[in-house]
């Protein structure tokens, strides 16, 4: 493994856009590795943002998605890199305009492997 460190993110991690919108994930079906009974989040998961209040010159430009990039941790699940609370990510508008990094809370260290 590389020098990257951080805590694994589970399906119950709270991910928000920088403007207060809440990101929810559609998690991949693999549950071979669990945190608190929930699947570990990976870069294969799709994150959708709701409730973003971002505006530009008074015109709404809300974040609608979050994309994470693979970390250098080397940890993969079903071929997809696992997400850490230190993983790089970006929130995007519907026009795919970058709008800032996501805010991640609720990571866990306790891991179960089946």
Query: What is the band of 114 on the pLDDT scale with cuts at 50, 70, 90?
Result: very low
The per-residue pLDDT for 89 is: 93
24-33, 44-53, 93-102: least confident range? 24-33
Domain that holds residue 76: 14-104
Residues sharing a CB contact under 8 Å with residue 33, sequence separation 6 or more, in sequence order: 39, 40, 77, 82, 111, 112, 113, 114
User: Is the confidence at residue 53, as pLDDT, over 90?
Assistant: yes
In a domain, 95, yes or no: yes
Q: Cβ distance 72 to 4 under 8 Å?
A: yes
In a domain, 112, yes or no: no
The per-residue pLDDT for 73 is: 61
In a domain, 4, yes or no: no
In a domain, 114, yes or no: no
Q: Cβ distance 83 to 33 under 8 Å?
A: no
- Tell me what the mean pLDDT of segment 2-7 comes to: 63
In a domain, 58, yes or no: yes
Total of domains in the chain = 1
């Amino acid at each position: 493994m590389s020098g990257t460190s951080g805590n694994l993110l589970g399906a119950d991690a709270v991910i928000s856009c920088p403007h207060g919108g809440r990101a929810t994930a559609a998690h991949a079906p693999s549950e071979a590795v669990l945190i608190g009974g929930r699947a570990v989040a990976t870069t294969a998961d799709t994150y959708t943002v709701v409730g973003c209040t971002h505006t530009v010159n008074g015109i709404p430009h809300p974040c609608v998605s979050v994309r994470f990039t693979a970390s250098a941790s080397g940890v993969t699940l079903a071929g997809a890199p696992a997400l850490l609370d230190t993983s790089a990510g970006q929130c995007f508008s519907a026009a795919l305009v970058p709008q800032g990094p996501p805010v991640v809370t609720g990571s866990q260290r306790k891991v179960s492997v089946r």
